[in-house]
Structure formats: structure tokens, C-alpha cells
Amino acid sequence: MDALDSFTKTFLTATALGKLPATTVTRHARVLRGCAGDRDEVAVVARCQSRQHRRNVFMLTRNRLVVTGESAVLRRVSLHLNAELHQLADVTWTPEPSRTGVQLGLTAIDGVRENFWVRLAGAAEMWRLDEALKQAFRTPWGVIQPAVAAPVAGVKVATGVKAPLPELRLA
């Protein structure tokens, strides 16, 4: 039996792939978990910016898109956007390889147009987010692949057996 639920496993992997600082992950984790629940699998977690806040965290799961904001002085975390994928309209994005980021625009269910600059750790993460957004919004009944850690160096993987996930800790 696994000690970690599916959200925790994929969230920790996604934050490690996104190279988010442990302090940022610790501050935002409670709010993000409250929005997604224990069974939702996380595809991408990254830093992002909007017009209102410069310090946001973006999370894309199989079912939801969540953005949290952080106040500048006291670093209090608040929920900026929490929507199921089918509640979002006019979702557009533009990957920018030279800046390793994605310009994302969407209209929430309340009719407010949101624009985000999603900063990613590298080109591989940028293309992974691009693929996850394609799966979520351009394919009918798309299934977004959760974040998966790369196999540990030196560990051979037999056919049909998954490599163990690297040990990831919040702090």
C-alpha cells in the first residue's frame, strides 16, 4: 500500500521537475491541495505572473487549473483562479522557447479574461506544458498525463515494472 496519495506523488514530482523552491512549494501546497483534492493527479506546477500579482503559482491537473497569488510584503497565499477545465473558454497559449515560458490566456466562467506568463525551468518543461494544454483543450475528452519522474540513474527497469520515484521532500 502506498503511503502517499496520487495528488502528493504527482505534486511533488511536478514541483521537482519545475524546480520550484521548497519554501514556495510549502507556502502554496495547502491551498493547491484544497482545490485539487487527494485523487487528482498533477501534470504541471510552475511560477507565473499576472497583472495583479507578480508571485503566482500555476497548477494544471487532470481536472482543474489553479492559480494562487502571494502578497509582496507578508507573502500570504490567496486563491486567484480555481476552475474545472470545462469551465474555461477561449484558452490560447503561445510557447516562447527563447524565454522558456508560455503566454497563456483564458476566459473564466465569470467572463473575466485572464492572462498569465508561465515561467518554466527549461525547454523540456515548456514543451511538456504545451503538450498538457493540447491534451486538455484541443482533444475531445483529453486525458492529461500526470508528472512522472525520470528513472533514477543506474537503476534498470524490467519490462512492465516501473522505476522507483526519487525521494522528494518539501522542506
> What's the confidence (pLDDT) of residue 95?
96
What's the rounded mean pLDDT across residues 118-123? 91
Compute the mean pLDDT over every residue in the chain, rounded to the nearest whole number: 83
Number of Cβ within 10 Å of residue 13's Cβ equals 21
Of 63-67, 104-108, 145-149, the poorest mean pLDDT is in: 145-149
Q: Is the pLDDT of residue 45 over 80?
A: yes
Which contacts of 157-166 are long-range, i.e. CB under 8 A and separated by 24 or more positions? Answer: 165/9, 165/13, 166/16
